[in-house]
Each structure stands twice: as C-alpha cells, then as structure tokens.
Structure 1
Amino acid sequence: MLKCRYYSKNTFLTAVFVVFIILTAHTQQLFAQVTGGSGFNLSLSEAVQFAKSQNKNVQAARIEESATGEDRKDAYRAALPTVNVSGSYQRFSDLTLFTEGLSHSTTGPRKPTPNAAALGVDALFNIYSGGRQRAFQKEQSSRLDLAKLNADDQSGNIALQTAGQYLDLVRLADLRKYIQDQLKRAQTRLKNINTLYKNQKVTKSDVLRAEVMLSNVELSLQQTENNISIANQRLDVMMNVPDSVRLNPTDSAAMPKPRPESLLQLIERAGISSFSVRKAAENVEIQRARVSGIQSANMPSLAFYTAYGLNYPNYLFFPSVNQAYAVGFVGLKAQYSISSLYHNKSKIAAGKLRVRELELQQQATADNITTDVKSYYIKYIEALNRISVNQRSVEQSQVNYRIVTAKYFNQLALLTDLLDADNLLQESRFNLIKAQTDALTIYYHLLYTSGNL
C-alpha cells in the first residue's frame, strides 16, 4: 500500500512538472511573438499602398468625397416634384361689432361656426426653368469629380511622404550597418595600436587618437540608432499604426531603379495627367456651370402644379354654410422676370471673365508641371550617374584603406593617413547610400507630380 502511494505521488509530480515546462515554453513563444524582437518586415511598395488606404488624412479626404457624392444626389433629387401636406384648425372667439366709432358694440358668435379646419396636399413640378436645374446638376457633378481628385491627390501626397520616410529609414539602416563595420575596424585598430605601443613602436599619441576615433564612432552609432527610432515613429504615423510597431525595411538603397527611358511617357502626359492640372480643369467646369445657372435667369420658367384639400366651413357660398367641402385643381404656372435682362448682365460678364481666368490658370499650371517633371527627369539621370561614380569611389577607397593600413602597421605611414583613409571609406559609402536613396526619392517625386502615384 505504501509503495503504491509512493508511485502515485511521483507520477503526479512528474505530470505537474511536464505541464509546467510546456506552459512555460508556450508562454515564451507567445511573448516572443508579441514583443516582435525582429519587428515587422515591410517593403517600399507595401508601405506606400498601406499608407494610401489607412492614413487619416486620406480617410478624411475619402469621407469628403462621399459627402460630395451625397450633395450630387441631392441636386438630382431636386428635379423631383415638390409635394406638401398641410393641416390647420382654428377656434374663433365671439365676434364684436362696433358702431359709431368705439362707443357702441354688440357681441355674437361667428357665423356659421366658431370652428375652422383645413387639410390638403399640393404638388409643384418644374417643367422648364431655362436650364437652371441642369446647370446645378453639372456643377455638383464637377464638384464630385474635384473631390475625387482631391482624395487621389491627398493619397498620392501621403504616398510620396511615406516613400520619403521609408527611404530615410533605409538610408539610416544602411548607415548603421556601415558604422558598425567602422566600429569593428576602430576596435581592431586600437587593439593593434596598443600592441605596437607595448612594443614601443608607436607613441602614446597614436593610442589616444585611436581611442578618440573609437569614441566618435560609438557616438555616431548611438545617434544613428536614435534617428532610426524617430524615423520609425514618423513612418508609423504616416501608415496610421501604433507607435510601438517596429518596421524593418526589406528593401535596401541598392534596390533596382527604373530606367530613364521608361519615364518618358510620364513626362509627355504630365501636362494632362497631373493632379493639379486636372483639378484646375474641374474648377473651369464648375465656373462654366455657374455661368449657365446665371444665364438661366434670363429665360422663362414653366411649372405644373396641383392641389386638393378638405376645408371646413364652406366659405364658397354666401352666406357661409356650416359644412365641410373638398375641392382640388390642376394648372400651369408660367413666369418671366423682365428685370433679369439688366440685373444679370454684369453677373454673366463677370462669370465669363472668371472662366477665362481659370483657363489661363490651368494652362499656367500645366506649364509649371511640365517644367517640374522635366527637371525631376534631369535630376534623376544625374542621380543615376552619381550612383555609378560613388560606386567606383567606394571601390577605390576600399583599396586605398587596405594599402594605408598595411603601410601604417609596417611603419611606412602615419596614423593620420590611416584615419583619413578610414574616413574617406566611410564618406564614400555614405555618399553612395545618399545617391541611391536620392534617386528613388526623385523618382517618387516624378510619379506624384505627373499624377501617377
């Protein structure tokens, strides 16, 4: 009996221990998933597309587009008949009659009854109003198109800013990698210089300068880490995700760049496809619709109207009869405002002048857009050439650093030459990263300016 109890107790403890190990491992796995030590991997195109749909400014612009769509629906519903239902009830006081001024009066009940009531329905349908309704509908349709363009423009602008923040994060990530390489070189260099100093082959000043160089690199790495955190938060805001989300770019500064020949079609159509040009064109259409609405006041209007009602008492007969009656009618109503011939003359002239003004602004905007796009294209080609030059500079600076390093540790060069060579290598790498990210930034500017982002 005691042996059985002993085995049962051991079995129970073993089971508890196994369950504890499983729960601990599962908890650690969940914690690793939640904390996301490696962060969330994201490509440039994914970041841009996510920001275009989730950014708060873009969402606000889409809401305004929906609101403008409702305004357009309201403009078309305004062409439907106007129908009113009305009802009333009155209870009259006694009737006081005065004779000889106000000196003599008699009072009696109101004939035929002190009660009165009415219940009726009337309708009005516009048949013709000189094109006023059509002009209003055209204006609201153009406003809806303008709201869509504003939303697309806002979306493209956010995409451009997101691409800039993403490329800034890419530049800093590559910069951190090169600074870490420089830190390893500085640590190895200081270790070797200390060895040379112990062997009395270099002076103490070389050791101190190497230590100062190492401290500067460490500070530069810390600064870069802080800049990465700031850039990550800015990108989180652009994409409307929590600030705690860590984004890791999967694209590098060396990602493929579009060939200049593939951008020529964008440049040719920039004067038409640009958001600014298209919005200017919609403003012209809105003003034209306003002019049509003003001109419609010079035309006659024709409307069909009808009514039917139940009234009490009957005032159609004399004397009035204490009875209810129902009656209705149908008819046409024509109206023409003669004063519109001189009241609207200046309004029409001012409206047409504003149309001309907006047309000139549209042409000026198209010219400016074409100039900007061509400028970006030239700068893009320049940036691609700068990449090629900086790539050769990196190769040459790497060879130069190896040569100067060998010379220094063979006592054939000064430490100043070695540090200069190290700084030159680091600067050439930084310039290459900047040239690569600048080229992509210019490319996205070109896409946005031409209305293709």
Structure 2
Amino acid sequence: MLVIFLAGHSACLFAQVNSPAGFNVSLSEAVQFAKSQNKWVQAARIEQSAAGEDRQDAYRAALPTVNVSGSYQRFSDLTLFTEGLSHSTTGPRRPTPNAAAFGVDALFNIYSGGRQRAFQKEQTSRLGLAKINAEDQSGNIALQTAGQYLDLVRLADLKKYIQDQLKRAQTRLRNINALYKNQKVTKSDVLRAEVMLSTVELSLQQTDNDIIIANQKLDVLMNVPDSVRVNPTDSAAMPKPVPDSLLQLIERSGISSYSVRKAAENVEIQRARVRGIQSANMPSLAFYTAYGLNYPNYLFFPSVNQAYAVGFVGLKAQYSISSLYHNKSKVAAGKLRVKELELQQQATADNITTDVKSYYIKYIEALNRIAVNQRSVEQSQVNYRIVTTKYFNQLALLTDLLDADNLLQESRFNLIRAQTDALTIYYHLLYTSGNL
C-alpha cells in the first residue's frame, strides 16, 4: 500500500483514507513525495516550462519573417474640376475601377551586431534561473517536510513517554491509596498524587491534539487529503550522518548553493543585456525579397487593364549614427550593474559558507548533546528507582518521588529534542548547501 501511496495513485489512496492504521512512511519517502507532489513545486516547474518556451521563441526569432498580404478595391467614378470648383465632369476611373493585389514578402536578418545572440543568451540564462528556482523551491519544501516529519516523530515519542508516565502515576496512586488506608501516609499525599495524574492526562491530551495538527500540516506539504494519517516509521533515534561526511558539502557550498547559483545566472542575464545594448552601435544587414500579383498594370503609362506579376531580391544595410551617443550611458549603466551583481554573488557565497559552517558546528554540538542526554536518561532512571524504593519504605517524601519522576520525564524529553534537533540541523545544512 505504501508503494501505491508514493506512486501517486489517488484513487487507491482515497479509498484507504479512512483506514485506522494510516500509512507508514519513512522520512526519505515523505521528503521525495513532497518534492514531486507539492503545489508550490509544481508551480515552479510550470514556470520552468514557460521559460523553456521563451527560450525556444528566442531561437525561432532568428528564422526569416514571412508575410502574405492581399487586397481588393472598387473605386467610384472619377470627378474632375476645372476653373476652381465651378465646372466638373465625371467619368470612370481608367483603366478600370477595380484594383487587387496579392503578394509574399520575406526578411532574413544576416547581421545585427550580435543582438539576436545576446537575446538568445539572455533567455537561456533565464531558463537556467527558472530551473534553479524550481530546485530551490523543491529543496525548501523538502526542508519543511523534514521538519514537520521530525516534529511528528518527536510528538510520537513524546506520547509514548507520557503514556509510560501515566502508567507510573496510576500505579503510584494505587499504592499511595493502599498506604493511606493503612495510615502510613497522609491525605495530602493522596491529593498530590491525584493532581499529578490529572496533569499527566492533560499532557497526553495536548500531545494527541498536537499530533493531529502536525499530521495535517504534513498532509498539506505532501499534497494529500488532510484526512490521511501518516505514521512515521523512523524514530528520533534513527542513525545520524557522521560529521566527516559533511565536510565535502561545506567545501562546495560556495558553488552549489541555490542562492549562489541564482546570483551567477543573474550576472549572465545582465551581461547578455549589455551585449544587446552594445549591438545597437553596430550596423545591421538583412536579406529581403518579395513576389506579388497586381491588377491593373500601373507600371506603364497610361495604365493598362491587365494583371502582372513581379518580384525582387535585395540586401538592406542600416547603421544608426545616433547610437554612438544615445547608447553610451546605457552601456555604462549596464556594465556597472554587472559589477554590482558580481559583488552580490561574492557576498552571497560568503554568507552561505558562513551559514553552512555554523550549521556544521551546531550539528556536532547536537550530536554531543545526544550523548550527554543519553547518560542523563540512564542516571534519572536509576535515581527514580532509588527514590521510589525509599518512599514506599517511608525513607523519602512524596515531593522527592514526584521530582524524580519529573526529572526522568524531562531527561527523556531532552533526549528526543536533541535527536530531532540534530536531524533538523542536518537538513538545514543540506538545503543551505544546495544538496536537498
């Protein structure tokens, strides 16, 4: 069923929406599914396709321009005036009151100073920018999906530990009631144990609600109905990449990052614009031709009531002298903007490198925090067993027992948080370096 789910067969998916077990999905499967099905990613890919069509249009613009035209006219009688407007005579238009024309003409650009190639280069860079934007959007959605999945994992593990705490609280309350009946403890101990049990039950209810909300957010990212229940198959204790395996990502982050790659494409776009502006300073040469059928024959005098066909081929050369001073500032401004974008690219690369190194340091710190919290959990478990034994042997107060219980629960929560935080930092590092 998971294969069907990930394959995107919506009919099978919807048929299983009400399944109480839900769908078992791993972290990598959730990320890959969201990268292919998320609406924002689909919109970015549509824009990429549109940019591809714009690039095709730029290359087709180099093809000859061909026009077909036709016309027909019916003239009225001709009125001639003499001696001002006092005398007039009327007669038919010679040689015929009818006129018609049909022709084909074509224009092919031979040379225009590189304007066409500059435009093609600009559209190619825009297509590259659209591709990177789509990859960036896909990576961003993958990062959000990973974060939401890990939040769901954290809540699932949290619920498991709260259920364990609930069992401890129920058992503790029964034992304290037994001690109270034997007049071994006071009523205040019973009341405090009941309050503790109510608090744990409320925490369990809150966690259940948080799981529902997190599941709905994950459904939106994966573009599936919000009634679909996703069951994470990975836990917070899933294997973490070793820090040494991330060094190569850090070294290439100044090149592979989405932001740096987009900045590089913007530089190329501006350079192509400058070449397009500079092309206005160059002469242009074009081949043009036409062939047509005309009626009547106006080539002779007087005109003849007959149709004729004629065509021509030729070259057209043009040079704008005014471009020498009209484009001077435009070219200068364009070159300055190229330098500006180059500096922005360098600054972006510096910032990305700093961010990636920061995530790397925090990732190592998170791994160390996991080891520390694992020891804390072991120590708090031993401490809880000791204090429990002391309390029921009347050697410790209930306050000490509840503090030991809270300490155990807090150490477990801290371990879950440290484990999920490490994975969250890892995915931030992947996205920032352009590898998600």
Report if TM-score (shorter chain) is over 0.5: yes
Cα-to-partner distance string for 1:140-194 (whole Å, 9 max, x where unaligned): 0000000000000000000000000000000000000000000000000000000
Q: How far has the Cα of 1:264 moved from its partner?
A: 0.3
Tell me, in whole angstroms, the C-alpha distance in 2 between the residues paired with 1:219 and 1:192.
Answer: 22
Larger Rg: 1
Aligned to 1:299: 282
Aligned to 1:175: 158
Q: How far has the Cα of 1:100 moved from its partner?
A: 2.1
Aligned to 2:4: none
Tell me, in whole angstroms, the C-alpha distance in 1 between the residues paired with 2:15 and 2:94.
Answer: 93
Tell me, in whole angstroms, the C-alpha distance in 2 between the residues paired with 1:82 and 1:33.
Answer: 57
Say if 2:32 is the partner of 1:53: no
Aligned to 2:176: 193
Say if 2:57 is the partner of 1:82: no
2:193 aligns with one of 202, 205, 210: 210
Tell me, in whole angstroms, the C-alpha distance in 1 between the residues paired with 2:44 and 2:330.
Answer: 33
2:329 aligns with one of 341, 346, 358: 346
Tell me, in whole angstroms, the C-alpha distance in 1 between the residues paired with 2:418 and 2:85.
Answer: 102
Q: Retained in 1: the 8 A contact 2:155–2:210?
A: yes
Q: How far has the Cα of 1:32 moved from its partner?
A: 11
Aligned to 1:151: 134
Cα-to-partner distance string for 1:331-390 (whole Å, 9 max, x where unaligned): 000000000000000000000000000000000000000000000000000000000000
Q: How far has the Cα of 1:107 moved from its partner?
A: 1.2
Q: How far has the Cα of 1:442 moved from its partner?
A: 0.2
Please give the secondary structure, in 1, of the residue aligned with 2:237. coil
Cα-to-partner distance string for 1:50-98 (whole Å, 9 max, x where unaligned): 0000000000000000000000000000000000000000001111112
TM normalised by structure 2 equals 0.96
1:378 aligns with one of 354, 361, 381: 361
Aligned to 1:273: 256
Q: Retained in 1: the 8 A contact 2:25–2:230?
A: yes
Say if 2:370 is the partner of 1:387: yes
Please give the secondary structure, in 1, of the residue aligned with 2:300. coil
Aligned to 1:94: 77
Aligned to 1:71: 54
Q: Retained in 1: the 8 A contact 2:121–2:272?
A: yes
Aligned to 1:130: 113
Q: How far has the Cα of 1:35 moved from its partner?
A: 2.7
Cα-to-partner distance string for 1:172-221 (whole Å, 9 max, x where unaligned): 00000000000000000000000000000000000000000000000000
Instruction: Read off the aligned partner of 1:362 and give its amino acid letter.
Output: Q
Q: How far has the Cα of 1:315 moved from its partner?
A: 0.2
Tell me, in whole angstroms, the C-alpha distance in 1 between the residues paired with 2:17 and 2:207.
Answer: 26
Say if 2:324 is the partner of 1:318: no
Instruction: Read off the aligned partner of 2:319 and give its amino acid letter.
Output: Y
Instruction: Read off the aligned partner of 1:166 and give its amino acid letter.
Output: Y
Cα-to-partner distance string for 1:381-430 (whole Å, 9 max, x where unaligned): 00000000000000000000000000000000000000000000000000
Say if 2:20 is the partner of 1:37: yes
Tell me, in whole angstroms, the C-alpha distance in 2 between the residues paired with 1:374 and 1:330.
Answer: 66
Say if 2:204 is the partner of 1:221: yes
Q: 1:396 to 1:151 in 2, by over 3 A?
A: same
Instruction: Read off the aligned partner of 2:35 and give its amino acid letter.
Output: K
Instruction: Read off the aligned partner of 1:277 and give its amino acid letter.
Output: V
Tell me, in whole angstroms, the C-alpha distance in 2 between the residues paired with 1:88 and 1:52.
Answer: 56
Instruction: Read off the aligned partner of 1:369 and give its amino acid letter.
Output: I
Tell me, in whole angstroms, the C-alpha distance in 2 between the residues paired with 1:35 and 1:290.
Answer: 56
Q: Retained in 1: the 8 A contact 2:17–2:229?
A: no
Say if 2:419 is the partner of 1:436: yes
Structure 2 gaps of 5+ residues are 1-13
Please give the secondary structure, in 1, of the residue aligned with 2:106. strand
1:405-424 aligned at under 5 Å gives the runs 405-424=388-407
Q: 1:363 to 1:32 in 2, by over 3 A?
A: closer
Please give the secondary structure, in 2, of the residue aligned with 1:451. coil
Tell me, in whole angstroms, the C-alpha distance in 2 between the residues paired with 1:318 and 1:333.
Answer: 29
Tell me, in whole angstroms, the C-alpha distance in 1 between the residues paired with 2:403 and 2:189.
Answer: 14
Tell me, in whole angstroms, the C-alpha distance in 1 between the residues paired with 2:35 and 2:215.
Answer: 17
Aligned to 1:112: 95
Please give the secondary structure, in 2, of the residue aligned with 1:328. strand
Tell me, in whole angstroms, the C-alpha distance in 1 between the residues paired with 2:247 and 2:187.
Answer: 61
Please give the secondary structure, in 2, of the residue aligned with 1:35. coil
Please give the secondary structure, in 2, of the residue aligned with 1:87. strand
Structure 1 gaps of 5+ residues are 1-30
Q: Retained in 1: the 8 A contact 2:17–2:228?
A: no
Q: 1:265 to 1:125 in 2, by over 3 A?
A: same
Aligned to 2:317: 334
Tell me, in whole angstroms, the C-alpha distance in 2 between the residues paired with 1:127 and 1:370.
Answer: 47
Instruction: Read off the aligned partner of 1:275 and give its amino acid letter.
Output: Y
Please give the secondary structure, in 2, of the residue aligned with 1:334. strand
Q: How far has the Cα of 1:102 moved from its partner?
A: 2.0
Q: How many residue pairs align between the two structures?
A: 423
Cα-to-partner distance string for 1:209-239 (whole Å, 9 max, x where unaligned): 0000000000000000000000000000000
Please give the secondary structure, in 2, of the residue aligned with 1:68. helix
Please give the secondary structure, in 2, of the residue aligned with 1:392. helix
Instruction: Read off the aligned partner of 1:86 and give its amino acid letter.
Output: S
Q: How far has the Cα of 1:33 moved from its partner?
A: 5.8
Q: How far has the Cα of 1:36 moved from its partner?
A: 1.4
Q: Retained in 1: the 8 A contact 2:118–2:272?
A: yes
Tell me, in whole angstroms, the C-alpha distance in 1 between the residues paired with 2:364 and 2:80.
Answer: 100
Q: 1:101 to 1:452 in 2, by over 3 A?
A: same
Aligned to 2:144: 161
Q: How far has the Cα of 1:34 moved from its partner?
A: 5.8
Q: Retained in 1: the 8 A contact 2:18–2:228?
A: no
Tell me, in whole angstroms, the C-alpha distance in 1 between the residues paired with 2:370 and 2:39.
Answer: 36
Tell me, in whole angstroms, the C-alpha distance in 1 between the residues paired with 2:325 and 2:168.
Answer: 87
1:249 aligns with one of 217, 232, 236: 232
Please give the secondary structure, in 2, of the residue aligned with 1:36. coil
Cα-to-partner distance string for 1:309-341 (whole Å, 9 max, x where unaligned): 000000000000000000000000000000000
